[in-house]
A = this chain, B = another copy of it.
Amino acid sequence: MSDRTSVNLVCPIPLQQYPHVLMAHGGGGKLMHQLVQMFLTAFGTADTIQHDAVTLELTGNKIAFTTDSYVVNPLFFPGGDIGSLAVNGTVNDLAMAGARPLYLSVSFILEEGLSMEILWQVVQSMQQAAEKSGVQIVTGDTKVVDRGKGDGIFINTTGVGIIEHARAIAPQSVQPGDLILLNGDLARHGIAIMAVREGLEFETTIESDSTPLAEVVLDLLAADIEIHCLRDLTRGGLASVLNEITTAAKVGIEIDESLIPVREDVQGACEILGFDPLYVANEGRFVAFIPQQDRDKLALKDTPSDNGKGVSLRASLDPTCPYRGCASQRALEIMRSHFPHNAVVIGKVIEDKNSLVTLKSKIGSKRIIDMLSGEQLPRIC
């Protein structure tokens, strides 16, 4: 892939002749091969993608393996599109297992009549996202379904990563006393999608937080931080993830509303739309469960507390923060080197047979944060 760059690629399909995807593009004949050429041009995997399966050499024998299908509507939204989302989402799932993401497969389900130009844009976006994360798209598949039996583009990406350490990074490893570190402000992805879908306009454009998380995780691992668990806050948001973890680890969690960063415009949009930001999906946010450090040894250095975008930053930088000085300074420094303004401690793990997640509100009251029955926002990923 080293000789190739995704900028200035020329689409090998003549768009004037084939402005739309036809049923025949999924049929195994010449048109499908032309479509495959489009993917090969973008993904640069000519040697491998043409066989039934690709052969990969790995440097270790412990791998991480994950799959996700992406059905986000609309296909394009501020801060991303279905293509970059499909790459980042699967890269992030590998990262959350403590793995170095290496390879992705990509499988498209296209609706007859889809604009070929849009497909080409999505494919290029995938390649750019793959390059950014250092993963290779190595094998693929395309199906075409009749008009009205799909919705433009559905994408499945499945990822393989290599695990280069002996840690057990998993919900079951979470223990009472662990602190919960969060890498940034919540709820932007879901609100960005919803704003486009509902035609809402705000003073500032709310952009999705979609971003790859592999680099920050690999840096945490390289620094030998004792990580018990990592989770990205996608469908169901922070609240659902914390509930999944308390159930799996048979512990309780206490978080502090005043420590959880939410941008003011996002908070406002949530109030207009009737959503709770704790349950809204993110695509570039994760929590890390890390044992509490000795308060005396690790004094936390202060860093600027506002990113200039109207984001109020309370959290562990605030002198009144109860976790100030308790967290691994090195872990927070690494997280802030990737996410400068909002990497914070939001709470801790406690003993609790009932596996409850409790939120201490800004006015000091406590409430239980339960799993929702369904979800606030359908088709946000």
Contacts and interface: CB of A to CB of B under 8 A. Distances in A.
Contacts of A240: 28-29
A146 B68 contact: no
Contact of A33 (B105, B143, B371): B371
A377 B27 CA distance: 7
A229 to B, nearest CB: 9
A66 B139 contact: yes
A93 interface: yes
A163 B57 CA distance: 10
A204 interface: no
Interface in A85-129: 92-94, 96-97, 99, 103, 105-109
A65 interface: yes
B52 A96 contact: yes
A154 B107 CA distance: 12
Nearest to A66: B53
A367 interface: no
Nearest to A97: B53
Given A56-B62, A68-B107, A50 B171 contact: yes
A334 interface: no
Given A236-B27, A373-B29, A65 B61 contact: no
A62 B57 contact: yes
A149 B146 contact: no
Interface string A161-205: 101000000110000000000000000000000000000000000
Interface of A: 22-33, 50-71, 92-94, 96-97, 99, 103, 105-109, 138-141, 143-146, 148-151, 154, 156, 158-161, 163, 170-171, 231-232, 234-237, 240, 244, 248, 281, 371-379, 381
